[in-house]
Chain A
Amino acid sequence: MEIFDLSVAELQAKLRAKELSPVDALDALESRIAAVDPKVGAYLSRDLEAARVEAAQADVNLPLGGVPIGIKDVINVLGQPCTAASKILEPFRSPYNATVINKLRAAGAVPFGRLNMDEFAMGSSTENSAFHPTHNPWDLSRIPGGSSGGSAAAVAAREAFATLGSDTGGSIRQPAALCGCVGLKPTYGRVSRYGLIAFASSLDQIGPFARTTRDCGLLLNALSGRDPMDSTSLDQPVDDYTSLLGRDLKGVKLGIPKEYFVDGMDTQVRASVEAAIKQCESLGAELVEISLPHTEFAVGVYYIIATAEASANLARFDGVRYGHRADAPKDLLDHYKRTREEGFGSEVKRRIILGTYVLSSGYYDAYYLRAQKVRTLIRQDFTAAFEKCDALICPTSPDLAFKIGERTDDPLRMYLADIFTIAANLAGICGLSVPCGFGEKDGVKLPIGLQFLGKPFDEARLLQIADAYEQSTDWHKAAPAL
């Protein structure tokens, strides 16, 4: 087994036994990246020298001691680039650390590398990066999902042991599913957003990618907790998220939301997810059919609320305090308009226009306020569902990874790729995607993801359930041939 094939837990064991040093782990990643990243394109940049200094000083007895962690290029690390894959932030260097970076370092981890994404986390394919697309490690002609496509592809391609991403409407879970790794979106308020470039502040949440559920639990242990710098982070007890792992599913009630098995979803995805549900039953879970009656409205609600919040959040990119500035503006209005025209890509502009429109005078009540009310109903659907079960089990994405370029001209079709992940963000609950099989397209194997959705702040249980399923299968052990 190569060093880069190790899980975080396996790497830790070797670091603590002094069989490997943190610098060895970093070097193994660096040579793997040099070998495969020209094909995959997961990284935007990386600073090996700075990471080596940190690795050389790492205390391997800390919870994540000496483990390199790749970072989505939307989370600030002091002195490093943080472009959000946008030209408008191309010259930017972070003047401070995000809280999650301070927390990872306090746990001994070594943040390493900046991972590609859709510009400002807006997209489902990582094709909206202003710099280059990321390719799915299982089939380089296909997308890795998005927006955290670099974070997912790096873990799948063994270019990282674990990474951080952010999830506003599925941006961790959907790429995890399409790349065949585990991705966790924590409950809204579980992890501090301080230092995360804001897309939609009522929906954004930072979370981990890894090759096992246990590894995601190890990272969540380090990331969680109240932060005075983020008033939406809540003062809820931080569990040991690995404490329930290794149990079977006896006594666990899993709800099957009937609205998540729709006509038009890929038949291979359906077959794999249905087999996974049977597998959970054989591990002792009790299955209950439940209904989330407002599911069909989730995408519509999301694209009003998320774009409205984005139009406000992205107003700060004005070419004055940081980032790109248009040359020789003739006045301030020209300065703003050309700076933003030159700096933002198409999808970002499209969403700012939509968000500005739904908030504009005369349309606020019809769009934004109505969407916020339907959001209440979506949230109540989940509250009612969780009275009947401990977690929900369903597909992560209705499709296998699609071809690069296939949907770029059709934004609505692209938005519908998030149909099974968006509601969790609107409701603020936690969710996770774990590999549950493979489909086939054009003779190539493509990963399928199984999604578990859990009650707010019930990540320990969510991880227990996912781990029980994962450890009863071999899907998470498969690696792409690169």
Chain B
Amino acid sequence: MSSPELDVRYVANLARIDLSDAEITQFQSQLGRVLEYVEQLNQVDVSQVEPTAHANDVTNVFRVDEARHGLDKKAALQNAPRQVNGLVSVTKVIE
């Protein structure tokens, strides 16, 4: 059974992933079953419960604001699939 709400094609576009028609059909049914499974969370009364974002009760962790060396240009560029004149080359965005 597939979830009536989940539209895999639409969400794949949001996530910027091309999927084949076969993958869309397969994910629709597999993820439909997963979503059906997580429906069980609706049994829990959470009206008086605060959410947990992560397990440690710390917020706003700062470090001293001082300049430090990061990656040099060569190291920063070494993995870029396309580069021009020491810069990362990006696929054209403006006509």
Contact = CB atoms under 8 A, between A and B. Distances in A.
Interface in B63-92: 63, 71, 75-76, 78-82, 88, 90-92
B31 A374 contact: no
Of the four ranges (under 10, 10 to 19, 20 to 34, 35 or more), the interface on chain A belongs to 35 or more
A202 B54 contact: yes
A428 B56 contact: yes
A292 B10 CA distance: 38
Contacts of A373: 44, 46, 49-52
Given A332-B92, A357-B6, 8 more contacts: A96-B71, A231-B61, A341-B17, A353-B17, A353-B31, A373-B46, A374-B44, A411-B34
A376 B52 CA distance: 5
A369 B17 contact: no
B30 to A, nearest CB: 5
Interface in A350-399: 350, 352-354, 356-357, 360, 363, 367, 369-377, 379
Contact of B44 (A93, A318, A377): A377
A311 interface: yes
Contacts of A375: 51-52
A369 B51 contact: yes
B53 to A, nearest CB: 6
Contact of A352 (B5, B13, B15): B15
Given A372-B52, A376-B49, A428-B55, A411 B41 contact: no
A333 B53 CA distance: 31
Contacts of B15: 311, 340, 352-353, 356
A297 B27 contact: no
Interface residues of B, number: 50
B34 A189 contact: no
Contacts of A322: 79-81
Contacts of B27: 349-350, 353
Interface string B8-48: 10011111111100010001001101110110111010100
A344 to B, nearest CB: 7
A344 B19 CA distance: 11
A427 B38 CA distance: 19
A403 interface: no
Contacts of B1: none
7 contacts: A301-B41, A321-B80, A331-B91, A357-B6, A372-B51, A377-B49, A427-B55
B12 to A, nearest CB: 6
Contacts of B5: 363
A402 interface: no
A355 to B, nearest CB: 8
B69 to A, nearest CB: 11
Interface in A311-345: 311, 315, 318-325, 329, 331-333, 335-338, 340-341, 344
A323 to B, nearest CB: 7
A346 B8 CA distance: 14
A251 to B, nearest CB: 28
